[in-house]
Structure 1
Amino acid sequence: MISIRPPVVCNQIQNDHMKQLITILITSCLFSSCATLLNQPTAYVTLKTTKPALIISGTDSVETKENKAVLTLERSKNPIVLTTISDSLKSQITVKARNSIAYKYNVFNLGIGALIEKGSPKRYEYPWTVKIDPSDTTSRVYDYYKTPHKGQLNLTCTFPWVNSFYFQPSHETSKANTGFWGFSAGLEYYYKDKKYLSLAGSAVMDFFIPFPAPVDFSGEVENMYSVYSSLMDNFIFGRFTLGYGLNYSRNTWKLVYHDRFDPPPPTREPATKSSNSIGLTIDGYYQIGKRFHIGLIYRPTLLNIKPEVDFKYEHLISIDFAWKIRLKQ
């Protein structure tokens, strides 16, 4: 349990807790090599063919059963070359190694694990499934990042991990803070190849610790959080995605008094100030896996419609981690 006390009561205890928190963070970063812990030295690749075939990989060969075969491969940064023979036809496909999902999880330990595992073969993976048409005799390279096509529908689940707030609550001085955690879910519909509309609902907060932990607060504490929906138009450029659109947001600043650990008396009454606003959303993402994206969201609100109608600038800036699941091709 982490206890948060006001500095005027117990500065030394607060400093000790901060030192402990920093020690925990450093220790978790140094000893969290995700790929080393989670990945086995070998990886399995399922090959699916359109008809029976003999598949050759290096010095190994395997015949498909019910148009399917499984290869066991040593993890490596080197590509694998698969040759299929069927009805006297020979085809060849090259499958490049890529960074595994476990290796990408090192973003959550601030990249320290990625540096430790930079030269490790366990950082790499091959696709779980490779589809092969033995009748296609052209040599080709397996495409991890297939271009989305018109009519495709995706479910998105994202985690705005770092959130920076700037609010102007009614009859209060401006408030700013940066914290962690949030969640968003939505849908993407491709109305053209490489172009799609997205609709999402999100909730973010300014929790001061970058990982879940029980916390005891003491004295006056300010909280900031936001719930909003966005409708956006998006464009894909290679692995980059850029989007723009509108948002409807409910921004909340809250002052809470926790009567624990003998805090000093409150300086004022607790308060909650919320506003409903309309604004813009601009974001950019980079695809680093088949379904995994990392991005930056800038969400300013400009027109306040509740509790009163006026022009007021507030913003949220988030570092976001997104997963996309295809629902319809």
Structure 2
Amino acid sequence: MPSYIFGKIELDDTQLQKDLEIVKGFPRISEEYDEFGTGVWINNSLWNASQDATDTMYRDFDYPAKQTEYGRQLPYISKLVTENFNLEYLKMVRTRNLIDGMVIPHKDFVELNKPKNQYFRVFVPLEDNQHAFHSDEDNVFQMKKGEIWFLDAAIDHAAVNFSTESRIFLCLDFAFPGDFHPSEIFTNKALYNELIKPTIAKREQLKPEAVEHMIQSLSQIIDKYNFKDVLFMLSKIHFYKDVPVSAAYDWLEEITRRSGKEELLDKTQKLRKYMIEKRDLGERFSINDWKELTA
């Protein structure tokens, strides 16, 4: 599978819990890519390019990441990072939480300049949540507390938390100047372990006639008032039905085409391009902006 486990850290729950309480008290700030998610989606920058905790944009730069004021408030999490991970190629560290919401299918790094295989995104769950899942082009899976995962963010992927419970993850972004082995992210190569079995979600088959019925029915009711609702509903289906992660965009394009509403079809095609094909650094796309439409 494109995303995989390659290690595990034993966490000190007492020290960790103190830091997590501090994380939960950080103010929620506007995200660089708020359009990707719904529900409560919080990213706190602990290390980044600017040392500014309000800077949530991942971008290319040619020096090690700098710790922010948020990172300095988390002694145990900071220790986890500095004692276990190679800081030379570390470009960003965030805590990420998603509550009662999802991040719709998208690709990362499309606005950056390096070859995509030089970017290496690592997740370490700091909390367990049986209702939270990630996906890539092959599988839907759960990341368990302390596991070290590579998430292939350069391909279509998504995340969801079907509950109102927290699921704080540590996200570490590395960028290498050339070819590398995943073990190079560790200060102690003994952490590298490919033998840990991942938790893969079992998904039901989705019959073609059910897809046709869904598309035909939604084409009769979709409008600017429920466009976002339909998008996020379609994006959830792959988490429990065995369909590709990007199927939501195929379905939405056919739904809007059959609706006969050219504005909706145009919006869908631009959305697809932005989320999984190409966008510029700093470019924004508003799902809710319908200034070009009349009631």
TM-score scaled by length of structure 1: 0.18
Q: Normalized per residue, which structure has more helix?
A: 2
Q: Normalized per residue, which structure has more strand?
A: 1
Higher RCO, Cα 8 Å, sep 6+: 2
